[in-house]
Structure 1
C-alpha cells in the first residue's frame, strides 16, 4: 500500500506556498510602486535637463557652447534627425519615465522613448521644433535583476526556515499523541505529555480516551454477560438433565416444571439478545404513549392490579419497539419483585416527559440503588420474588439513553419502589 504524505510535509508545503504567494504579491506591488517612484523622479530630472539644454542652445556665447559640449560628452546632445524606430520593447522604467515627461511638458507627442539597445529619450525642442534633445538613460537592469535574485534567495531561505519551524511546532503535538495513543486507549493519562499542545490536540486526546473507555466498558460487559449467561443457564439445564435422567417427562407436574425451565432459558436468552441489540438502528416515528401504556397494562397477567394516571393522549417521537421493551421490563420488575397495586403515571415535568412505574413492595436498600441498572445486578436480596436474568433494568437504562433520556430509580415514600423513565419532551398532551 502506497504511503501518503506526512502531516509535517503537508503543513510545510502549505506554509511554503503561502509564503511564496505573499512574497510574489509583495514583489509585484513593490515593483509597481518602485516604477512609479523612479518614473516620477527621473521624469522630472529629464524635463529639467531638456528645458535647460533647450535654453542653452538658444544662446550664442562661449559659456553656453562650452556647457553644451560637456553635456554631449555625458550623453546629452541636440540633433536635427528624427527619432529612429525602436529595435525591441522598451523597458518598463523607461516607458514610465517617458510617460511622466510627457505629462510634465503638457504634450506627450514631444517625447519619444527608443530602445537601441540602450534606452534613449528624445524630447522635441520647444524653441526650434525641428531639433530634438537626446538623452542616454543608463541601464541598471542587470544590477537590479541580480539584486532581486539575491533578495529572493535570501527571503526564500528565511521563509523555508520559518515554515519548517512552524510545521514542526504544529505537528509535534500530533506525533506525541500518536506515540502515546496505546497508553491513552488503555486508560492511562497522558496529560503531562501534551502540555503546551493546541486545544484541538487535547480535544482529540479526550475523544480517544472516551472511545477507549467505551471499548473497555463493552469488553467488560461482554465478559460479564458470558459469565452471567453461563450462571443463569446452568441451573435450569441441570434440572432438565436430572428430570430426563429420572424419566420425569411422563409425570404432568414434572413436565410442567420442565416447560417452566425451558421458558426461563428462553427468557434469559431473549434478555441477553435485547441487551446486545440496543435498538439504535430502529427508525424514529410518532406514537401515542398513553395508548401504548394502556395496551401494555392490558396484556399483564393481572391487568386489574394496574392503574394508569395521565393524559388520554401523549404524542411522542421515539423508537416504538425499543420503548415498548423498556416499559415491559419495568412492569415485569414491578410484578416480580414488588407487590400490587401497581401504578403507571405519565406527565410532563419541566423539559422532560416522566413515566413512573410504582409498586408497593419492600423496596431496595439504599446502598444497592446506585448499582441497579448494571448488567446482572439484582435487587432480589431485599425484594421478594423469583430471580430474573439481571438484565431488565440494564436494558431499560440503555434504551433510555438511546432515546435521549435517562432512568431514575427511587424507593417510594411509605414503602415500595419507583422506576422513572425520563424522555425528551417531544410530546403533545390532550385530554
Structure 2
C-alpha cells in the first residue's frame, strides 16, 4: 500500500521548469482540438508543485501502473485498428492519445517522494535483477516529447505548431542557459537557430511532397487497378490534400454521338462505412465470349458504340462500362464474368486491353434495396439538418427531385483539400 509522507521528505531538488508540463499538455490538447482534456491533465500535472507532502509508492505498485498503461495502449490500438478503415489512421490516433494513456505512469512519479522512476518499472527484463543494478530515469522530458509527437500527428493549417514549438524550446533553453553568456547573445543565437530550423522545416515539407508524388505515381502505374469487386477504400473524409497523377488511366473513343448520361462504371457498392465502400457477396457467372463478342443484356443491335483502352494488372481487372451496355467485343480469349450488379470482371486477359462496347439509353440498375437506403450513422445529423433547411416533405416527389438536384448544383462541392472543422453536423459527405 502507498502512504503519504510529510513535507520533511520532499523529493530531491531537480532543476526542472515547474509549469513546463502543464504548458505542453495545454498545447497538446489545443492542437488536437480536445482542449478541455489538455487543461485537466495540465492541472493534475501542476498540482504536485504546490503540495507540501508526497506519496511513497512501492516498486510493485509502480510496475502495476506501468503494466496498466501498456495494456491501455494495446487495447486502444486494437480498437482503432478494427474500427477505422486504414491502419495509418489507427496509428495516428493511437499516437495522439499517448499523453492520456501514459499519464498514470507520469502521475506516479509527480506525486511520489522520488522524482525519478526505476527502469525496472518500464522494462520487464530488469525486474528480476538486483535493486543495485537498476537505474532510474526522469519521465518528464520523455513525456514532453510524447506530447509534442502526439500534437504533430495533425498537420496544422498554418505555422502555429512550429511557433509553439519555438516558444517551448526557447523557454527550456532560457531556463538552462549558462549565466556566463550575455542575454543578448543568447537571443541572437536562439533566433538564428529557430530561423535555420524553420528553413529546414520548409525544405523537408517540400521533400515529403515530392516523395509522396513519386510514390503515388509509382502506385498508380503499377497497382492502381482494383480487382476486388466487393470492397474498396476511398479517401473521403481524409483531412489532407489528395495527391493525384497526370497519367492517363483510360482512353475512350466514341463511335457515335455520346449520350448525356454516358458515364463509365466499373463497380457497384451498396454500403459505405468509415471510408470503405462494400457490397454483398454476389456470385460471378461466366459469360459466353467468342469472336462475335459477348452479349451482356437484352437482344438486338446496339445504337451507340464506344471504344475503350486501358492497362490491366497481370491481365486482371474490372471493366469500366457505360450504363445500358448490351454487347462487348474485342476481348476474345479472356475470361469474362458478371455478377447481379452488372460488374464485369476480366481475368487471363492481355496486359493492355482494347474493346468495344455497345449500349442503349436505358437503365440497367435494379431499384434500391433496403441496404441501399441505409444512411451511415455519422452522416445522419448533417442529413437531418439539410432536410430541415429545404423542407423536402412539403413538396411532391417531382418537386422534391428538382429541389435535391438544385441542392447538389449550388451547395455541394467536390474538393481534394479537406480542412478540419469543429462543426459536428458537417461531414465529408
The bucket for the TM-score relative to the shorter chain is under 0.3
Higher Cα Rg, which structure? 1
The TM-score, its normalising length taken from structure 1, stands at: 0.22
Of structures 1 and 2, the one with the larger relative CO (CA 8 A, separation 6+) is: 2
The TM-score, its normalising length taken from structure 2, stands at: 0.22
**Which structure has greater helix proportion?**
1
